[in-house]
Chain A
Amino acid sequence: MKLMETSGLTKRFRRTWALRDCTLAIPAGHVVALVGPNGAGKTTLLNLAVGLLRPTFGRISVLGGEKPGSVAARRRVGFVAQDAPLYGHLPAGDMLHLARNLNLTWDEERARDRLADLGIPLARKVRQLSGGQRAQLALTVALAKRPEVLILDEPLASLDPLARHDFMGSLMAAVAEDGLSVVFSSHVVSELERIADYLVVLNEGRLQLAGEVDVLLGAHHILTGPGGEMALDSKRIAVVQATQAGAQAHLLVRTSAADQPDPPGWLSSPATLEDLVLAYLRDPKASVLPGPDLTAAAGGQAARA
């Protein structure tokens, strides 16, 4: 089953193209990080996935063909929008009760246990909670309907490092407990490896990179070697990013096979996810267009468009 499948997905707001021709297929069972700078189209993509927006062109479906926003999809998808909107004037307990009354499935006991574990008093008004507590409450609301996929828009953006750590901890515990899939957007690129096992990079409204983290890391290396003439086999190696530091060049390259030998004169070292994301984001034109199945396409269709 595909967690999310898009084809030629395009969204235009008046004169701005928020998302252009995005074709993507994410298999279920992943924790997907949707990464990109501000204005890259992350929120647009997620709002399309939960039916809050409709595509200008193209198609999108979630959870094996459900139309976003349909009754079935809303039942199976948990969503926490950017800034975790909640009714601030309600006490946390009433907020839960309200969400319960807006849903068909609801696990009240679990929700209350979670809030008790987190030390969030039910009687306290939502607007009096700390940012971290609000985020946790929003997560609790989203989890209480026992979704199959949880979609989180910038869940970490407004959290301090400690709250961020706690939030990710709760999220990972829920993932382990329920086996649910997660899609979350973030413009924070550090710490992603710890959380996500699938990466989607959006930049300027276009899909730049998508694939399982392991596969992506296996296909990318940092080569350190002499600058100037680069006698690299461009058929086998695509340079994503080159930095020249004195006599040395650092290249982030994508190779067609994971275990090929280093080119002569170059020293290969593994790239971190952060290196990789940053390299792609710096060059919006660099892209891997994997098509639906990235494991097959990871090394192919290298593009330095």
Chain B
Amino acid sequence: MTASAPPAGLRGEPLRPAGEKSARVAWRRLAWVTWRQQRTALAGLLALPAVAAIAMAAIAAPDYGSSYTDDPARVGLKSAVVLLLQLTPVLAGLFIGAPLIAREAEQGTLRLAWTQGADRTRWLLCRTVPVMVLLALAAAGLGLELRWWLRAGGWAVWYAGGQWLPQFFSLNPLPFAGWVTLSVSLGLLLGAAIRRTVPAMAAMLACYAALLSATSLWWRHGYLSPLLRVVPHATIVSGGGYGYGVGFSRGSGPGPYILGTRLGWPDGRPLSASQLNHTAAWFREHHIAVWMTYQPSNRYSTFQFIEFGWLVALSALLVGLTVVLISRRAA
């Protein structure tokens, strides 16, 4: 009756090598369990974007093509639709991902679920993967609808570069699907780690917001190295003000994503602060040009694939970590 550590050989080893190849619970049985347990949450979750989808189908997008002064109600509608769609991944993580394990841990039902015939890994995969795929498909569909809707309203013509804006870029079908998937898997992992629904939701929200902001503000710019263009015939005024006209071929597609412009010498050196105060004639005389870094418009779809790719890979990693976590942890 001593509490000292027994010999190392006794540490938690199975008494018998795990050589069972017993039958496993069929996927379609587990799929029923998933459906029965999550249909309410899914229906509730999909109600919001459904409202947005119906609104888009029923009401024409604000017409930016003809004037800036469209019906304010319809401009407001556009913002509301975009907001609803932006919220969808967040809500998926909060109400599908985070509670998936955390709520069962809180209510003690993990001790029921994990002592039945189905093993934990299968149970988990069957409860998450179909839901994530369903939500990703829904997101992709909504992304397509939004694109169609905004184009119909002349959005692309009015402000081509606007499609690179974070709130619109992430609502393209592929990135949108990716963010929904990521959000659910993030909630899942945090729920499995924290095991309390509300704290897991809070943590999920914080992590999601951090990741989305970091992506929008920094990472997305650099998926591929930006291109540089020197605009020699810029209209330059003294004091550092300048204007320039660049002929980008854009048609109905997105324009380029301009990351930055600055005035520089022909060899690329930037002008010092005092040099910016020279006259326009001085600028012309020294062939001062506008140096512009940008992502060309033909990268728009490549960037979507890249974003989708890393989001899905990260989601798979998070689900994998959850599997490891729950197969190691107690209920």
Instruction: Mark A residues whose CB is within 8 Å of B.
Output: 5, 7-8, 10, 17, 20-21, 47, 50-61, 65-67, 70-72, 74-75, 77, 79, 81-83, 85-90, 94, 97-105, 138, 141, 145, 206, 287, 289, 305
Known: A101-B25, A102-B25. A58 touches B6 (CB 8 A): yes
* Chain A neighbourhood of B40, CB < 8 A: 89
> Considering the chains assembled together, what is the distance between the CA atoms of A81 and B330 in angstroms?
13
A85 touches B108 (CB 8 A): yes
Instruction: Mark B residues whose CB is within 8 Å of A.
Output: 1-3, 5-6, 10-16, 18, 20, 22-25, 29-30, 32-33, 36-37, 40, 107-109, 111-119, 123, 330-331
Taking a contact as CB atoms closer than 8 A, the residue among A7, A52, A72, A81 that contacts B22 in the complex is: A72
Known: A21-B1, A102-B117. A65 touches B330 (CB 8 A): no
B16 touches A55 (CB 8 A): no
B36 touches A90 (CB 8 A): yes
* Chain B neighbourhood of A82, CB < 8 A: 108, 111
> Considering the chains assembled together, what is the distance between the CA atoms of A54 and B329 in angstroms?
8
* Chain A neighbourhood of B15, CB < 8 A: 5, 59-61, 65, 67
Output the least CB separation between B40 and chain A (Å): 8
A81 touches B112 (CB 8 A): yes
Taking a contact as CB atoms closer than 8 A, the residue among B12, B30, B117, B331 that contacts A74 in the complex is: B117
> Considering the chains assembled together, what is the distance between the CA atoms of A69 and B41 in angstroms?
30
> Considering the chains assembled together, what is the distance between the CA atoms of A269 and B100 in angstroms?
58
In the complex, which of the residues B3, B22, B111, B115 has the most CB atoms of chain A within 10 Å of its own CB atom?
Answer: B115
B3 touches A20 (CB 8 A): yes
Taking a contact as CB atoms closer than 8 A, the residue among A65, A101, A289 that contacts B30 in the complex is: A101
Taking a contact as CB atoms closer than 8 A, the residue among A56, A99, A141, A206 that contacts B12 in the complex is: A56
* Chain B neighbourhood of A86, CB < 8 A: 109, 112
A102 touches B16 (CB 8 A): no
> Considering the chains assembled together, what is the distance between the CA atoms of A5 and B15 in angstroms?
10
Known: A57-B12, A79-B115, A145-B117. A101 touches B32 (CB 8 A): yes
* Chain A neighbourhood of B107, CB < 8 A: 85, 88
Taking a contact as CB atoms closer than 8 A, the residue among B13, B18, B20, B33 that contacts A98 in the complex is: B33
| Residue in B closest to A101 when the chains form the complex, CB atoms | B29
A59 touches B117 (CB 8 A): no
A47 touches B33 (CB 8 A): no
Taking a contact as CB atoms closer than 8 A, the residue among A47, A56, A58, A103 that contacts B118 in the complex is: A103
* Chain A neighbourhood of B113, CB < 8 A: 102
Known: A47-B330, A101-B33. A61 touches B114 (CB 8 A): no
> Considering the chains assembled together, what is the distance between the CA atoms of A120 and B111 in angstroms?
23
* Chain B neighbourhood of A7, CB < 8 A: 10
In the complex, which of the residues B5, B22, B330 has the most CB atoms of chain A within 10 Å of its own CB atom?
Answer: B330
> Considering the chains assembled together, what is the distance between the CA atoms of A198 and B3 in angstroms?
26
* Chain B neighbourhood of A54, CB < 8 A: 12, 330
Output the least CB separation between A22 and chain B (Å): 9
| Residue in A closest to B118 when the chains form the complex, CB atoms | A102
| Residue in A closest to B22 when the chains form the complex, CB atoms | A71
In the complex, which of the residues B16, B18, B32, B117 has the most CB atoms of chain A within 10 Å of its own CB atom?
Answer: B117
A57 touches B10 (CB 8 A): yes
A287 touches B37 (CB 8 A): no
* Chain A neighbourhood of B114, CB < 8 A: 51-52
A145 touches B116 (CB 8 A): yes
> Considering the chains assembled together, what is the distance between the CA atoms of A20 and B3 in angstroms?
6
A102 touches B33 (CB 8 A): yes
Known: A65-B16, A102-B29. A52 touches B111 (CB 8 A): yes
> Considering the chains assembled together, what is the distance between the CA atoms of A277 and B115 in angstroms?
30
B36 touches A94 (CB 8 A): yes
B25 touches A59 (CB 8 A): no
Sample of 4 further A-B pairs with CB below 8 A, known A70-B14, A98-B37: A21-B3, A52-B331, A85-B108, A88-B107
A70 touches B18 (CB 8 A): yes
> Considering the chains assembled together, what is the distance between the CA atoms of A20 and B15 in angstroms?
19
Known: A71-B119, A74-B116. A102 touches B36 (CB 8 A): no
| Residue in B closest to A21 when the chains form the complex, CB atoms | B1
- Cβ-closest 6 pairs across A and B: A85-B108, A81-B111, A102-B116, A101-B29, A103-B117, A61-B15
In the complex, which of the residues A50, A98, A105, A206 has the most CB atoms of chain B within 10 Å of its own CB atom?
Answer: A98
Output the least CB separation between A124 and chain B (Å): 16
A10 touches B3 (CB 8 A): yes
* Chain B neighbourhood of A67, CB < 8 A: 14-16, 18
| Residue in A closest to B34 when the chains form the complex, CB atoms | A101
> Considering the chains assembled together, what is the distance between the CA atoms of A17 and B331 in angstroms?
18
Taking a contact as CB atoms closer than 8 A, the residue among B22, B30, B111 that contacts A102 in the complex is: B30
